[in-house]
Structure 1
Amino acid sequence: MSVETNKQMVKSTWEAFVKGDIKTAFANMSDEVSWLIPGNLSNLSGLRKGKAAILEFARNAAKTFPNGLQTQINRIYGDGDAVILELTNRGKLANGRDYENEYCFVFEVEGGKIRRVREYVDTQKAKELMS
């Protein structure tokens, strides 16, 4: 796949994921997909392997944001099989607080499917807002 095709596929996958359209999002992911959030927060950080583990994480995240998230994609970069999304997520937390945080996602594409995701976010800020 070309870099532009990878960028468009990742963007549409992210948009589907945020809307809760898991079927569309997962159609673009390898069966062996992994999703890593570096850090040491037990409910957020860690490595999730496979669609089932990612789905469980997404369902828990949906409970944290009962009205969903609004995503603003600020930039999208592509180089070879890597696509980087810089974005801002905003929403109302289940605890009533407003949430806004900056994210950087690195997607690795293999064979036309997303194989690895690395999510970089200020986990300390997220923890403070969620507690």
Structure 2
Amino acid sequence: MSAQENVEVVKDFFAATGRGDSQGLLALCTEDIEWIIPGEDWPLAGTHRGHAGLRDFLQKASETVETHFRGLPEFVTQGDRVLIVGSAWGRIKATDKTFEDDWVFAITVRDGKVTNIRENIDTQALARASQMDVAGPV
């Protein structure tokens, strides 16, 4: 596939994610999809594998965080890789704390399907927003 076709697959992937279309999303992914979010102290960090792992991850994400993207992201391609650079703001639902986040997604597309996602986000900002305030002794 051409670089532009790979970008279109990635755009379709994000559009399906945004509208909560899990069937459409899974149709755009290989059976052995791998979504990696590095970090600690952030409930969505880790490696999520396969369609079942992707479904579980997306369910947990919808229960955990509300995200809004700022402007249009930038797409950079080379071969079967698509990098998406953007920024977002959002809210952690459990704490009602907000966060701001600059991010880069490195996505591999093969034969018209997403095979790998490495999401590089500000996990420290998200972890801080996820922490509950604990009142100490006065």
Q: Same fold (TM over 0.5)?
A: yes
Cα distance in 2 between the residues matched to 1:39 and 1:64: 16
Cα distance in 2 between the residues matched to 1:46 and 1:92: 20
Cα distance in 2 between the residues matched to 1:33 and 1:118: 11
Cα distance in 1 between the residues matched to 2:18 and 2:48: 18
TM-score by length of 2: 0.84
User: What is the percent sequence identity of the aligned residues?
Assistant: 26
When Rg is computed on C-alpha atoms for both structures, the one with the higher figure is 2
2:85 alignment partner in structure 1: 86
Instruction: Say if 1:28 and 1:117 are closer, same or farther in 2 by CA, change over 3 A.
Output: same
1:114 alignment partner in structure 2: 114
Paired residues for 1:1-131 under 5 Å: 1-41=1-41, 43-65=43-65, 68-72=66-70, 73-94=72-93, 95-131=95-131
Structure 2 segments unaligned to the other structure (5+ residues):
132-138
What is the letter of the counterpart of residue 86 of structure 2?
Answer: L
What is the letter of the counterpart of residue 124 of structure 1?
Answer: Q
User: Deviations along 1:14-39, whole A, 9 cap, x unmatched?
Assistant: 12212212221211110111011122
Cα distance in 1 between the residues matched to 2:2 and 2:29: 17
Structure 1 segments unaligned to the other structure (5+ residues):
none
Cα distance in 1 between the residues matched to 2:120 and 2:42: 15
Runs of 4+ that moved beyond 4 A: none
User: Deviations along 1:47-73, whole A, 9 cap, x unmatched?
Assistant: 1110111111111111123xx422234
